[in-house]
Amino acid sequence: MSSPTLIAPRIFALALLVTLGLSILARAQAPAAGGRGGAPAAPPPRPELRAFAAAEGRWAWIKDTGGQSELFIGGPSGTGRLRAKGSGWTEVALDGATVWLLSRSGPAGTLLSLPVEGDAPPAEAARSADQPGALLAQGGQVFWLELSKAADPGMAFVPPLGARLKLRCREASGTLRTLVDRPAVDGAAPGAGDLLAAAAGPLYLRLRSASGTELLSVPLQGGATTWIAGESGTQQAVLTNGTLVWTAPSEEAMPESGIRCLRRLRTGGAPETVADWLPGIGDLAAADEGLRYSDGSNLFSLPARFGSPTFVRKVDFGRLVSDGHSLVILGADQPRSLSARSSHP
C-alpha cells in the first residue's frame, strides 16, 4: 500500500497534466487570430493601376482595389480625385469633357461614358457580345476592338468558323460602324496600345498574337485596310509627330538575344530602321523631347537617325507611357510625371 507521502506528488502531477491538456485543447479549438475557422487572415489585395489615358493636360486612370474599379481624374501636378466606382472596368479614354470606359463581364462587355466634371454615374453607350479590348476616343468618335469566339473550335482554322477580330466605331451621333472584320490569329488579345490615331490621319491598328505583331493602317472614313509590317514577338508602337514608329527584332544582334531595334514608317515608302540595340524587354514612349525607351530601371533616348540608344537617367519601377507631351510612370498606386531629360548635371 502506497504511503501518503507518495500519493500527494502523484495527485499534483496528475492535476498539472490535466490542466495542461485542457489548455492545449482550448487553443486547438479556438479560431486563429485574424481569421475564421483557424485559417490565417488573407492579406488585403494590393491596388493595381489598370489603365491610363490623357488628353489636353488632363489624366484619367483606373485603379483596381480587389473586386472594385475606381476611376480617378487628375493631372501632372496632382494626386487625382476619385470620380466614380464600379466593377470590371478595364480601359479608359478621354475626349474633351467626356470619359469613356470599357467594362468586362465574362466574354461580353459594355462601353460606358460619363462627364469629367460633376457626379453623374456612368451611362451605357454600347454593348458588345464579344470580348472588347483597346479603347481610343477623339473628335467625338470612339474606337475599340472585339474578339469573338470560334463558332466551331474544332474547325477554327476555317475562316468562317474561327474567331474573328472587329474594329468598331461609335460616332458622336451614337451610330455604330464596323471598320475591320477579319479572322483572328491564334493568341490574339486586344488591349491598351493596340489603337493609335493622329489628329488628321488614319487609324493604326496593332494586332498581337502568338505568331507575332502586325501593323495595319485603317482609313477612318472607310476604304481598304493597308498592311504595314509584320514582326516576330510582341512589339510596341507609338506615334511621334504623326509618324508611326515601332519596335522589332534587332537587325544586328543574334535572334536569341531578344535585342530590339526601332523602325519608322516613311511617307510613301518602306519602313526604315532608325535605332538598334534596345533592351529586349521595355516600354516605348514619345515625349516633346523625343522618343524614350525604358527597360524598367533605365531610361534611354532614341536617335532621330540611325544609331544606338543613349542612357538618360535611372527610373523607378513601373510602366512607361506618355500623356502626349511628357513621360509618365504607371506605378501600383497612381501615375507620376517623369522628366525625359538627364537627371545628371
| 255-310 per-position pLDDT tens digit | 888 899 999 998 877 899 999 999 988 999 999 999 999 999 999 999 877 888 99
Same domain, 257 and 309: yes
On whether both 250 and 293 belong to a single domain, the answer is yes
Asked if 230 and 269 sit in the same domain, the reply is no
Percent of the chain at pLDDT > 90 equals 56
Maximum average pLDDT range among 18-27, 93-102, 273-282: 93-102
Res. 18: pLDDT tops 50:
no
**Cell 489603337, located at residue:** 195
- Is 345's pLDDT higher than 50? no
**pLDDT for residue 339:** 75
Q: Give the mean model confidence (pLDDT) for residues 50-66.
A: 92
Confidence band, pLDDT 50/70/90 cuts, at residue 333 = confident
Same domain, 229 and 247: no
248 and 328 together in one domain: yes
**pLDDT recorded at residue 138:** 93
Residue 35 lies in a domain: no
Mean pLDDT of 174-184: 92
**Domain identity same for 244 and 343:** yes
Q: Which residue has the higher pLDDT, 18 or 328?
A: 328
Q: Do 226 and 188 share a domain, yes or no? A: yes
Average pLDDT, the chain: 83
> Does residue 19 form part of some domain?
no
- In a shared domain, residues 112 and 143: no
How large is the average pLDDT for residues 141-166? 75
Considering only 148-157, 199-208, 276-285, which range has the smallest mean pLDDT?
148-157
Spatial separation of the C-alpha atoms in residues 114 and 54, rounded to whole Å: 16
Instruction: Mark residue 193 as left, alpha or beta (left: phi above 0; alpha: psi -120 to 50; beta: remaining).
Output: left
pLDDT score of 298 = 94
Residues 114 and 200 reside in one and the same domain: no
Q: Are residues 298 and 261 in the same domain?
A: yes
Residue-wise pLDDT for 119-131, tens only, equals 999 999 999 888 8
Give the chain's domain count.
Answer: 3
Residue 57: exposure state from Cβ atoms within 10 A (0-12, 13-18, ≥19): exposed
Q: How far is CA 332 from the centre of its chain?
A: 12
Range of the domain at 208: 133-234
Examine the domain organization and report whether 290 and 342 are in the same domain. yes
pLDDT at 47: 73
Are 187 and 167 part of one and the same domain?
A: yes
One-letter amino acid for residue 181 of the chain: D
Structural domain includes residue 250: yes
In angstroms, how far is CA 87 from the centroid of its own chain? 16
Among 129, 152, 186, where does a domain finish? 129
Domain boundary among 98, 129, 160: 129
